[in-house]
Structure 1
Amino acid sequence: MKRLSELEYGESGVVREIRASQHELNCLGIRLKKQVKMITRQPIKGPVVVVVDDMEVAMGLDTAEGVVVEVEGHEGS
C-alpha cells in the first residue's frame, strides 16, 4: 500500500482508503475501488496528476497524501 502521492510515473493502483476530504475527491472522480494511474508528480509540493476513468485529474499534494492505494504488479514493494 502507498499514498497516492508516492506513486511513481506510470504506476497504477486501486484506491483502498480515503483519509482526505471525501467530498472533494468524489468531485474529482476518486472513490474507493477506483483504479488510478500516476501521470505527473511535480517536485517541491507541486500538484499530482492521475488518470481516473480515462480523465486526467489534478490535485494538491496534501490531498494526494490522504489517498491510500494498493499498487498493482509490485509484489513485495
Structure 2
Amino acid sequence: MQDFPIEELYRIMSEVFMQYDFAFRPDMGAKDVPGWDSLNHSVLMMDIGNATGVDLSPEETAKLPSIGALHALILERMAQLG
C-alpha cells in the first residue's frame, strides 16, 4: 500500500481552496475551511483521485463529518486497491 500522510491531504486542500497559510486540522469540516464550497469539493475529490488512484464521489464524501474522516476513507480505499 502506498503511503498518503494527512499532511499531503492538507497540501492538496490548500491548493484547491487557495488557503496556503491556513492551519488545517483533522477535526475540521467543510464549514470550518474558507473556500470549501460544492464546486471546490468536487475539484478536491478529483485531485485526491489523481494523487492516490482512489475514486471518491463528491456525494459520498460530502456526508463525512471531518477532514480526519476523509483521510480515513482515503486510506481505506487505498488499502482495498492493494
Classify the TM-score, shorter chain.
Answer: under 0.3
RCO higher in structure (CA 8 A, sep ≥6): 1
Say which one has the larger Rg.
2
TM-score using structure 2 length: 0.26
Higher helix content, 1 or 2 = 2
